[in-house]
Structure 1
Amino acid sequence: MRTGSEPRTARSALRARFWLSLWGLLWALFGMVAFVITGRTGWAIACGVLLAIVTIDLAVVLRRIRQGPHYQPGPGVPPYRPPDDRP
C-alpha cells in the first residue's frame, strides 16, 4: 500500500551498505598505496578522496546501525503510519 510519504519513510539496507563501504574502503586504500608506490600522484589523490568519502559513509552507516530499531525497523514495524480505517 502506498501512503504518499515514501521518500520521507524510505529505509536503507544498512548491513549491505556496511559491507559495500567496507569493500570500497579496502580497495581505495589499496589503490592509494599502490599509486603512491608507483609515483602516480594524481591517481593517489583521487583514491585518497574516495577513501575519505567511503570512510564518512561507513561512519554514518555504523552510527545508524547503533541507533537501533527506531532507525532500522524490523519486519514487524511498518515504515509508515497505518491508514485510519474509521469512516
Structure 2
Amino acid sequence: MRTGSEPTTARSPLRMRFWLSVWGVVWTVAGTVAFALSGYPGWALACGMLFLLVTADLVLVLRHIRQGAHYQPGRDVPPYEPPAGRR
C-alpha cells in the first residue's frame, strides 16, 4: 500500500478545474479576437499562447475525468486500501 503524507480519502476537484478551464478558453478566445481586431498583435499573441495552455489543461482534466474515480498512475503503484470506516 502507499505510504507517505497523502490523505487516505483525498479527491481532486476535477469538475471545478474543468469549468475554470472552460471559462479560461472563453476569455482567451475573446481576448485574442479583441486584441487582434484593435491592432495589438503582441497582446493577441499572448492571449493565443494562454489559450494553448488552458486548452492543454482542459484536455488533461477531461482525460482524468474519463479515467474514473480510482485512477492509478501506473501498474507498479498498488491500489489504495479502502478507508476503515467504510466497510
Q: TM-score, length-normalised on structure 1?
A: 0.72
Give the equivalent residue in structure 1 for 2:76. Answer: none
Aligned length: 73
Structure 1 residues 63 and 82, CA, compared in 2 at 3 Å: closer, same or farther?
closer
- CA-CA distance at 1:50 after TM superposition: 0.3
Q: Which residue pairs with 2:35 in the alignment?
A: 35
Partners of 2:82 and 2:69 in 1: CA distance: 18
* Alpha-carbon distance in structure 1 between the residues aligned to 2:4 and 2:82: 12
Q: TM-score, normalised by structure 2?
A: 0.72
Matched residue, 2:67: 67
- Structure 1 counterpart of 2:12: 12
Cα displacement string for residues 55-76 of structure 1 (whole angstroms, at most 9, x for unaligned residues): 00000000000001212xxxxx
Query: What is the aligned-residue RMSD (CA, Å)?
Result: 2.4
AA of the residue aligned to 2:67: Q
What's the CA shift for 1:4? 3.3
Q: Give the gaps of 5 or more residues in structure 2.
A: 72-79
Spell out structure 1 runs of 4+ moving beyond 6 A.
none
